[in-house]
Chains A and B, each alone.
Chain A
Amino acid sequence: MNSLVLQTASRFLLPLLLLLSVVILLRGHNTPGGGFVGGLLAASAFALQAMAFDVESARRMLRVNLLAMVGLGLTLALVSGFFSLAAGGPLLKGLWFEVPVLGFDDPIKIGTPVLFDIGVYLTVLGVVLTMIFTLQEVVE
């Protein structure tokens, strides 16, 4: 599909969609969203890129091997559970830490569920793109 409209749209939409997906991911703990939706959204951004240009260019933009991304996501999700295990609690229980950041009055709160959600995001992104890219490459 070599559509100029699609290519132009993709150039503008890709960064926007990616930014939006990250916002949805990070805000998901407090407002609708989260790793699943964020991951799907990011995947559609890259899928758009792959359709407008080709899979190769989308892969170049990603820079990461997709199955490796799935592995990384799974590992992150699992590792986030070890914190509470180390603290004597059950696996995957959420823990929160307050990290003071220079220039802000309130310390930033970082929790293991956020790490878990990032793992979800990466896994979903990797899985969906693996499927779409694989299919598309066979078609191409």
Chain B
Amino acid sequence: MMLSLAILALLSVAAPWVCRYAGPARGVVLAAFPLGIGAWFASKIPAVADGGAIVETFAWLPELGLEMTFRLDGLGLLFALLVTLIGAGVLLYAGSYMQGHHQIGRFFSYLIGFMTSMLGLVLADNLVLLFIFWELTSITSYLLIGFNHDKKESRSGALQALMVTGLGGLAMLAGLVVLAFAAGDLAGVPGGVWNMSELPEGLSGHAHYPWIVALVLAGCLTKSAQFPFHFWLPSAMAAPSPVSAYLHSSTMVKAGVYLIARLHPNLATGTAEGLWEGLLIGFGATTMFVGAYLATRQTLYKRLLAYSTVSSLGVMVMLIGMGHPDAAAAYILAHAMFKGCLFLVAGIVDHEAGEKDVAEIGKLFQAMPATGLAALLAGISMAGVPLAPLAGFVAKEKMIKAGLDAGPLTALLTALIIAAGSFTVFIAIMTGFKPFFGKAQREPKKHAHEAPWPMLAAPVILAVLGIVYALVPALFATPVVTAAGEAIKGGPFEAALRLDAFYYYEISLALGLSLLATLIGVGIYFGRGLWVKATSPFAKLDGVVGPAKMYDYAMLGLTKGSWAQTRVLQNGSLQVYIKMTLVAILGMFAWAIWRTGSLPSVGTNFERTGLLEWVLIISIAVSAIVATRLGSRLATVAVLGVIGYAVAVVFALYGGPDAAMTQFAVETLIVVIFVLVVYHLPRFAVYSGLAVRVMDLLLAATFGGVMACLVLAAGSQELFAPISAYFNEAAMPETPDGQSAYGRNLVNIILVDFRSVDTLGELVVLGIAAIGVYTLMKLRDDHEGVPVAEREGDEDQSEEGDA
């Protein structure tokens, strides 16, 4: 598993080069990798079918008890298959779709980067790891939505998606931490339980349970675009079609559903009245209905599909909450097929016919028969047309039966399911039937023609798999859905799962209701002009106080608020910053002394000081005062040199030859640099008035006095034993033994062995400073590089002579 993640991560980095050298074959080359990984996952179906799991662990930060634990169980497998196999199809498709785009390499890099993070997300067992991958999917999604960054709608859509899912993600992080510690309470592990597979029973009885549910769901519901957070998903349709098909239908938006399913066995209360179930059913059912309703008012192909995806996500959340994991798993699989297919078809219609509006187009079947057939199959599947042997029908029957079995909520939920089902039928006709067989308002903008085979492969295969799902479920549907469903349930099903279409061909209430929904949907299709008119008052209301509008208001308020506080706190004056910092620090000291009510004790056993020390101290003291008073730049350099060398001598006397040598060398170089630039620096000028200078001096002197006291106080404390004894022991073995540092200079072995990571970080800082200097001086626009002073006939330059 970790190997597959590593391969994809490397592929993401290598994608630009693959794109450059593989040319038109790029899609095939890139798709081969996820396809192979998907095949590997498929071969693991038997291993996880009976509630088994494959676990891989890598010690990450063993000191903190952090482990990278990956775990493949039934639920993870279902999603891993979706991510890799649909991913392979989408890569193949995108290879042709993005042909000729000037940033195609970057596109594939992002797309495969997303694939890596999504796969990591569904395989991670560790909560921290899960969160990292979760955020990575948000970031890659942001990059992909905003891919056409020259368009305003892309940028705003990308930002909206990032803000909504990012804020939800932050809440979720808090929730996961509370969850881990609550679980640690129950399991008797003080550091918290961080692996999801080890979460104990009885979390719903913990005092923090409401917080856990609220915070975790905040992340899941925003990510999975549940009402009222749904609005980012339609805006995300600004992304290229392969992205919409992959991220915003098949995979990323299901991350929330995935986590809900993953935590369901631990957080469910077992009754429909419980907090967890109640919230899931409430949000899920509302989203299902509202999403489907909003879709009926759209005419743009991808927006129709986006709203209908919102509705489908609601269905998944609702089914999990209702305690029907089998139906949820069956629906997730079916939805990935028909919705992924339709999104890809929408991309083909846009690409090959130049059309985005389904209200305008029709009769495209002649020009693109294969696309049309795939769309028709997917549409029938999505509508769940009764008696059609397709995945969607099976899933829908299970959904209606779940609704009829919902106890006191039966009437309400069944009504909502049928209403949403009717809308869905209408959407299915608009997206799967109308563009290819319906009446055309006008000719398509481009001369419509069939898509090339790489673009056809994925939609056609997905459409055909919908039939295989329902006719030969044993081939893949039953084992995968069973394994996933049992993982969501947290235990085996009582009876074997039946997914073959014929099993549902009995005369029953469910079938009748399904037929009713289909008829209503067809009715809306023929009376759609009337429908749009009848619902427009609600649309107006949504435009004024709807969630999207609320988001806009919130963003506007945030921008204005930040601007206002920036004007106050960060007014651009360095002096003010320094003064604020100093006053704040002094305030904290005062507060600490007031709180403890006493000053720290100070050792007063000051020994007699030798002449050499006195000389050093006095020269530093005099230089420190003189440095602030001098007007001559060269004299200041000299004074600074005195301080530097004196400090170096102090180090040398008190057992630090290395630091002393470094200080000497640096001081010399500083003098060299100063001499180099000093003539080109402006003369020292006094800009501030006397009152300001006196105030500054007072503040600086106060702070200096406090620091002097702090040094005395801190020097007299010993909170813990110095670590140097360990360095002494571990420094020099008889022979190199693999544990010790093998060196005699303790300072040096601290730098290059014991704390070498710190040193490495420091070297990076040095490198950055060098690059900074280089770019500042070498890379510049010379057209305005003439100094003002020179322009005005400079007199400063020769003022000090060449002393």
Contacts and interface: CB of A to CB of B under 8 A. Distances in A.
B742 interface: yes
Contact of A94 (B669, B752, B767): B752
Contacts of B10: none
Contacts of A64: none
Contacts of B509: none
Contact of B763 (A28, A51, A113, A119): A119
Contacts of A36: 658, 662, 751
Given A67-B774, A131-B773, A132-B669, A29 B745 contact: yes
Contacts of A123: 763, 766-767
Given A51-B672, A132-B676, A139-B680, A29 B766 contact: no
Contacts of B741: 94, 113
Contact of B756 (A66, A97, A113, A139): A113
Contacts of A73: 763
A47 B676 CA distance: 11
A8 interface: no
B661 interface: yes
Contacts of A103: none
A40 B760 contact: no
Contacts of A47: 669, 672
Contact of B676 (A96, A98, A130, A135): A135
A16 to B, nearest CB: 15
B128 to A, nearest CB: 19
A26 to B, nearest CB: 11
Contacts of B690: none
B770 A135 contact: no
Interface in A68-120: 70-71, 73-74, 77-78, 81, 91-98, 109, 111, 113, 116-117, 119-120
A83 B41 CA distance: 33
Nearest to B661: A37
Contacts of B759: 77, 116, 120
Nearest to A110: B736
Contact of B665 (A44, A94, A95, A126): A44
Contacts of B662: 36-37, 40
A33 B748 contact: yes
Contact of A132 (B666, B672, B757): B672
Contacts of B658: 28, 32-34, 36-37
A40 B665 contact: yes
A31 B744 contact: yes
A4 B579 CA distance: 50
Contacts of A32: 657-658, 661, 745, 747
A28 B741 CA distance: 13
Interface in B732-771: 736, 738, 741-745, 747-749, 751-753, 756-757, 759-760, 763-764, 766-767, 769-771
Contacts, number: 153
Q: Which residue, of B666, B770, B773, B778, has the highest number of chain A Cβ atoms within 10 A?
A: B770
Contacts of A135: 673, 676-677, 773, 777
Contacts of B777: 134-135, 137-138
B668 interface: yes
A74 B749 contact: no
A43 B669 contact: yes
A74 B745 contact: no
A128 interface: yes
A41 interface: yes
Contacts of B770: 66-67, 70, 126-127, 130-131
Q: Which residue, of B677, B753, B769, has the highest number of chain A Cβ atoms within 10 A?
A: B753
B769 A81 contact: no
B760 A77 contact: yes
B753 A94 contact: yes
B513 to A, nearest CB: 62
A136 interface: yes
A134 B760 CA distance: 24
B681 to A, nearest CB: 12
Contacts of B742: 29, 94, 96, 109, 111, 113
A77 B760 CA distance: 7
Interface residues of A, number: 55
A124 interface: yes
Given A37-B661, A109-B742, A134 B748 contact: no
B751 A34 contact: yes
A130 B773 contact: yes
A95 B738 contact: yes
A72 B680 CA distance: 33
Contacts of A78: 760
B673 A131 contact: yes
A42 B778 CA distance: 24
Contacts of B778: 134
Contacts of A30: 743-745
Contact of A81 (B743, B760, B773): B760
Contact of B743 (A29, A51, A70): A29
B757 to A, nearest CB: 6
A77 B756 CA distance: 9
Given A34-B745, A36-B751, A37-B658, A128 B767 contact: no
Contacts of B680: 139
Contacts of A126: 767, 770
Interface in B700-747: 736, 738, 741-745, 747
Interface in A10-24: 24
A115 B763 CA distance: 14
Contact of B748 (A28, A44, A95): A28
A117 to B, nearest CB: 5
Contact of B767 (A28, A81, A95, A127): A127
Contacts of A70: 766-767, 770
Contacts of A136: 676
A135 B776 CA distance: 10
A42 to B, nearest CB: 10
A71 B764 CA distance: 9
A120 B669 contact: no
B637 to A, nearest CB: 14
A31 B753 CA distance: 15
Interface in B759-797: 759-760, 763-764, 766-767, 769-771, 773-774, 777-778
B669 A40 contact: yes
Contact of A44 (B668, B677, B752): B668
Rank and list the top 7 A-B pairs by shortest CB-CB distance, nearest first.
A96-B736, A40-B665, A32-B657, A30-B744, A29-B743, A127-B770, A94-B753
Given A29-B745, A47-B669, 16 more contacts: A29-B742, A32-B658, A32-B747, A33-B748, A40-B666, A44-B669, A67-B770, A74-B764, A95-B738, A96-B736, A111-B742, A117-B752, A134-B778, A135-B676, A135-B777, A138-B777
21 contacts: A29-B749, A29-B752, A30-B744, A33-B658, A34-B658, A35-B751, A47-B672, A67-B770, A67-B774, A74-B760, A94-B756, A95-B738, A96-B738, A113-B753, A120-B751, A120-B752, A123-B767, A127-B767, A130-B773, A131-B673, A139-B677
Interface of B: 657-658, 661-662, 665-666, 668-669, 672-673, 676-677, 680, 736, 738, 741-745, 747-749, 751-753, 756-757, 759-760, 763-764, 766-767, 769-771, 773-774, 777-778
